[in-house]
Chains A and B, each alone.
Chain A
Amino acid sequence: GENVEQHPSTLSVQEGDSAVIKCTYSDSASNYFPWYKQELGKRPQLIIDIRSNVGEKKDQRIAVTLNKTAKHFSLHITETQPEDSAVYFCAAITNTGNQFYFGTGTSLTVIP
């Protein structure tokens, strides 16, 4: 089955700096890659996703890039703010699969 690895496990940045979280996957058939943000004590929420026919997607301060050849995808957060502090999970799914495979999460702390 699919194996998703996520790095780093913890990340601290100064407010206003950029943060990058990287995930790699093993199954070349994976074609949809969502990112979830989980604030302390709350449910994970979908913040951005990318499909395999696209190399990059942006939504305001967040962007996701996908390198199918290298089988990795990354979450980029620019101009970080304290409210970006949370745990971020990446995931992957194939076009024939019913379940997502999640990374182990990255705890992001934005220092004011």
Chain B
Amino acid sequence: DVKVTQSSRYLVKRTGEKVFLECVQDMDHENMFWYRQDPGLGLRLIYFSYDVKMKEKGDIPEGYSVSREKKERFSLILESASTNQTSMYLCASGLGQGVGYTFGSGTRLTVV
């Protein structure tokens, strides 16, 4: 079974803090993704990466950056956390075309 592990299940941060969300997968997948999930809005893609050191903006990249220094690890960075970034963040990985994703368990981030 592919495992996608997110480092924190719950996180509370203060406005203006720099926040790191970590995601690690163990199946040598090329593609990794960060989504945020909000009620009524479904899954919105923030960034994705299809190779080490490669990244592409998704639908809502503003206020976020990412880092992929190693194939198995994809980090989401909130440069200066704001209250409107309070959300559930889901990491996913996959082989790409024609194969479903595997999701991590999610990190529920609260910015106060």
Contact = CB atoms under 8 A, between A and B. Distances in A.
Interface of A: 6, 9, 31-32, 34, 36, 42-46, 49, 51, 89, 93-100, 102-105
Contacts of A94: 97
B98 A95 contact: yes
Given A44-B90, A93-B98, A95-B97, A102 B104 contact: no
Interface of B: 4, 31, 33, 35, 40-43, 45, 48, 50, 56, 58, 90, 96-106
Nearest to B106: A43
A43 B31 contact: no
Contacts of A9: 40
Contact of A44 (B58, B97, B103): B103
A71 to B, nearest CB: 18
Contacts of A43: 4, 90, 103-106
A99 B33 contact: yes
